[in-house]
């Protein structure tokens, strides 16, 4: 396999690098992360956006089943609990299928509404079900950037905290997806276009392309584009936060 390392080759598309080898696998990104059971603590007297950034860097949540914890989960975890430490978990009747996904969205919506009240943020909560996951979005406010953070780090932490709260109430892990201000939707479009351009480049040149480091959500977008295209395959290499997708000719 030839690697794009020699001088004179075309410059890579923005967000990509030339490959010098691969040693990973795409399986983790193709199977989305699941959240451990437990709740998430957000105290009213805390600086929530700053605290979420800290949660993204340093976590202390124990998975109910360590062997099932996904290595590609979001960068942040939270301590078990709830926004109101005195509020006991709600006793809900067991449900499954789409009814469970609807319930997950409702729990997440209640949790996030409390969070917005604490922060004194304006914003609406949109709930939806897409395939096998609940999708929750915070929309409508003028400045939601603090809840997204640099490269979506704070959003990843907030999603994990929300998942933990949902899992505490339902008793099962959740693949709920949280978006804030359309960040994930915009990032999906951007990365899909970048991945498609990189795939074309690999097919035309027969040479490997290494993408820039991405989180699990972003890597899965790239893997999905590659999987849908004949003549190429993808792998992941490295460790977070420097883990990246590598696109190779499928020979």
In a domain? residue 243? yes
Classify the phi-psi angles of 123: left when phi > 0, otherwise alpha if psi is within -120 to 50, otherwise beta. left
Tell me, what's the pLDDT at 103? 96
23 with 53, same domain?
no
205 with 165, same domain?
no
Checking DSSP bridges between strand 133-139 and strand 209-211, what pairing results, if any? unpaired
pTM: 0.63
144 with 222, same domain?
no
114 with 151, same domain?
yes
| Final residue before a domain boundary, out of 119, 140, 174 | 174
208 with 139, same domain?
no
In a domain? residue 6? no
Q: Answer for the pair 77, 41: CB distance below 8 angstroms, yes or no.
A: no
Tell me, what's the pLDDT at 151? 85
φ/ψ of 191, rounded to 5, equals -75, -30
| Final residue before a domain boundary, out of 118, 146, 174 | 174
Paired residues of 124 in beta bridges: 139
| Final residue before a domain boundary, out of 117, 144, 174 | 174
Tell me, what's the pLDDT at 34? 39
Exposed / middle / buried, residue 181 (Cβ in 10 Å: 0-12, 13-18, 19+):
buried
Tell me, what's the pLDDT at 200? 97
What range defines the domain where residue 217 resides? 16-30+185-249
Tell me, what's the pLDDT at 26? 56
Positions in the chain short of pLDDT 50? 1-14, 17-25, 28, 32-48, 51, 53-88
Paired residues of 87 in beta bridges: none
């Amino acid at each position: 396999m030839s690697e794009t390392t020699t001088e004179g080759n075309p410059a890579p598309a923005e967000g990509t690098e030339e490959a010098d080898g691969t040693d990973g696998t795409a399986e983790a990104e193709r199977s989305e992360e699941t959240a451990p059971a437990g709740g998430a603590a957000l105290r009213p007297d805390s600086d929530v956006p700053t605290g979420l950034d800290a949660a993204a860097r340093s976590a202390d949540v124990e998975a109910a089943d360590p062997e099932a914890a996904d290595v590609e989960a979001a960068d942040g975890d939270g301590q078990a609990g709830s926004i109101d430490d005195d509020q006991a978990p709600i006793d809900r009747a067991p449900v499954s299928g789409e009814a469970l996904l609807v319930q997950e969205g409702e729990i997440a919506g209640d949790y996030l509404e409390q969070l917005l009240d604490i922060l004194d943020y304006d914003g609406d909560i949109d709930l939806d079900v897409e395939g096998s996951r609940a999708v929750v979005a915070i929309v409508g406010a003028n400045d939601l950037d603090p809840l997204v953070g640099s490269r979506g780090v704070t959003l990843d932490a907030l999603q994990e905290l929300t998942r933990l709260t949902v899992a505490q109430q339902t008793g099962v892990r959740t693949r709920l997806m949280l978006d804030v201000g359309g960040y994930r939707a915009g990032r999906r479009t951007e990365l899909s276009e970048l991945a498609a351009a990189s795939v074309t480049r690999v097919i035309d040149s027969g040479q490997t392309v290494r993408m820039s480091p991405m989180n699990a959500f972003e890597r899965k977008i790239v893997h999905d584009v590659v999987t849908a295209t004949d003549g190429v395959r993808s792998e992941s290499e490295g460790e977070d936060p420097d883990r990246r997708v590598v696109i190779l000719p499928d020979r």
